[in-house]
Structure 1
Amino acid sequence: MKNYTVRTYEPSDHTQWNAFVSKAKNATFLFYRDFMEYHSDRFSDFSMLVFEGEKLISILPANRSEDAVFSHQGLTYGGFVFDENIKLGKVLEVCRAVLFFLDQNKISLLQIKMIPEMYNSMLSEDIKYAFFLTDSKLIRRDCLAVIDLSKPFSATKSRRQSIRHGAANGLEIREEAEFDFFWNDVLIPNLHKKHQSKPVHTLEEIKKLQQLFPQNIRHFNVYHKGNIVAGTTLFITENVVHPQYISADAQKNELESLDYLYDYLISEISKGKNYFDFGPSHEQNGKKINNGILFWKESFGAKITVQDFYEINTSRFSTLDNILI
């Protein structure tokens, strides 16, 4: 066994952490510290760095709650992050080192919220083999509706008709630097009315994040006769365009504002990208699917991929000994 050192993140690691993320094979801008720390007051950070000697070879964005560590509950996805040159044997050793470190610190469980493969710059499922060897438990699986932009796809006849109606209604789409109208007049009222909830990001938080990541966070509003009727905030990575927030006013079915907006996002804003990720349509932690929402997404030509969530007993670290023969 090589000399591996695992320790938790410290503010002095900021530059080294970000440099590693910038070259990783399975990371996006969500893993940069400037993004992660917008909600540092809500989570007890327990992010880890793994060193082989003096060389940083893996990071794990994470937070702690009692005797469990999560790959980070404030992020849409996460897990072990590696550079493009790492081999399977070293992935297994890194996983063992992290589990041993957690076990020694009286943390019994590690939960991993996997990054969907389409977000990675290259194949990066080697860690799943480590999960298999440790008898990790698949505790949740979300269905994501995704358009593979590199393959032929088409919207249904009824969806194309709705898009034409949206154009005929004189809808105007504008990219905006301000989020206020959408957040205050559309998104917040709709979430409160339909789900008695609020956006994950406050208006102030999303503004700050957009200023930090202007190429990755873009916002579009839809107007009808000068009035805002719909909008979306996009999270854009190297490979994927994903609407993080989207909402419309009560006239959405009459004006076809959402269909018109999504057609524009897919056909224009997603040029040069590999995937358009509508996100999940689930409820009850993935156990139920909102069929109406799923039908709408699939009508644009989306297909289904999954995002997996694993739970690992940290005492199982020894199962990763002597695997390579």
Structure 2
Amino acid sequence: MEYHKDRFEDHSLILFKKGKPIALFPANQRENVLYSHQGLTFGSLIVSKNSGAHEVYQLLEVLIDYAKNEGFKEIIVKAIPPIYFTKQTGELLYFLTIKGELQSRNLVLAIDYTKPLRIHKTKRKHYEKNKSIGFEIEETSNFTTFWNDVLQPKLDSKYNAKPVHSLAEITKLQNEFPSNIIQYNVKLEGEILAGITIFKHKKVVKSQYGATTVKGESLRALEYLFMYLIEKFKDEEMHYFSMGTVDADNELGYNPGLLKQKEELGCVCFTQDIYKIPIA
């Protein structure tokens, strides 16, 4: 988390039992609120695999008592999406509903490789057809071309926005976690048309960034790259391929077009709950 330490006032915690760490709470503070770290895709209260339900309840109680003693008015806990569980468990969610209230719920779109792939026939048709175009797939640890020529221009022109990670930050992260962060580009005659930045976590892969040029869009280059990676990670026996959220600032709360696009690539909906615990 150090790469964006200037953006957050860290307040991460380690919880101990008889001198041994048994839980983590990656967190930051903002004014009088203690947040499950806002700079992380997932965080929550992370407990030992050996912790039973009652111990999880006790750990949550300790966290609440700590927040009260430190003068916080509330705790915001971002649950871990179930696709990242190493042990299926619902204890924490149960106790969070007792101690707090559901503040919001995010949709997380992911392919479940434990089930048969359900990719729209049109996507498959275009993928097979585009194999004859001559696309070249590049796997690299260098993000410069994608960031400068594809991602940043696309976000700037379409959303007047910048990537969450700067080029320097993503490069620093990749140097520290070389097997977990990988850049895939699709090129035609040496010209980059699209790219996808992949984050790998055990048996889960996540497309952190995906973007295409105008020319790439006309050739369905990004779609081709997604299809290529879907097959690749299936062959590598990954469990899930997450394509992130489809949240939007509109009356629906989500982007219907983006939702349809990800569903046609084989994604199904998972949820990530965010709870608010008031401190009396």
TM-score (norm 2): 0.96
Equivalent in 15, 38, 43 of residue 50 of structure 1: 15
Instruction: Determine if contact 2:79/2:93 at 8 Å carries over to the other structure.
Output: no
- For the residues of structure 2 that align with 1:62 and 1:279, how far apart are their CA atoms? 21
1:314 CA displacement: 2.4
Question: How many Å apart are 1:251 and its aligned residue?
Answer: 2.1
Query: Does residue 197 of the first structure (1) align with residue 197 of the second (2)?
Result: no
The alignment yields a C-alpha RMSD, in angstroms, of 1.4
One-letter amino acid of the structure 2 residue matched with residue 40 of structure 1 = K
Q: Which residue of 2 is the match for residue 255 of structure 1?
A: 219
Aligned positions of 1:288-299 closer than 5 A: 288-299=253-264
Choose from 1, 26, 29 the match for 1:61: 26
How far 1:285 moved relative to its partner? Answer: 8.5
User: Which range moves more in the overlay, 83-92 or 49-58?
Assistant: 49-58
CA contact (8 A) 1:140 1:286 kept: no
Q: Secondary structure at the match of 2:277?
A: strand
| 1:150 counterpart letter in structure 2 | T
Task: Give the C-alpha shift of residue 170 in structure 1.
Answer: 1.2
Cross-structure match for 1:181: 145
Contact in 1 for aligned 2:82/2:270 (Cα 8 Å): no
Instruction: State the secondary structure of the residue aligned to 2:244.
Output: strand
Aligned twin of 2:238: 273
For 2:270, the aligned partner's letter is T
Partner of 2:51: 86
Q: Look up the SS of the partner of 1:268 in the other structure.
A: helix
Q: 2:117 aligns with which of 153, 156, 161?
A: 153
CA separation in 2, counterparts of 1:204 and 1:144?
Answer: 27
Give 1:219 deviation, angstroms.
Answer: 0.7
- 1:283 paired with 2:248, answer yes
**Paired amino acid for 2:114:** S
CA distance in 2, matches of 1:306, 1:249: 31
The equivalent residue for 1:218 is 182
Structure 2 residue runs without a partner (length 5+):
none
What displacement does 1:95 show? Answer: 0.4
Alignment of 1:47-126 (within 5 A): 47-126=12-91
Structure 1 segments of 4+ aligned residues over 3 angstroms from their partners: none
Change (3 A) 1:171 1:76: same
Output the amino acid matched with 2:274. Answer: F
Q: Work out the CA distance in 2 between the residues paired with 1:66 and 1:184.
A: 36
Asked if residue 229 in structure 1 is aligned to residue 193 in structure 2, the reply is: yes
Whether 1:37 aligns to 2:2 is yes
2-structure distance, mates of 1:285, 1:85: 42
TM-fit CA distance, 1:164: 2.1
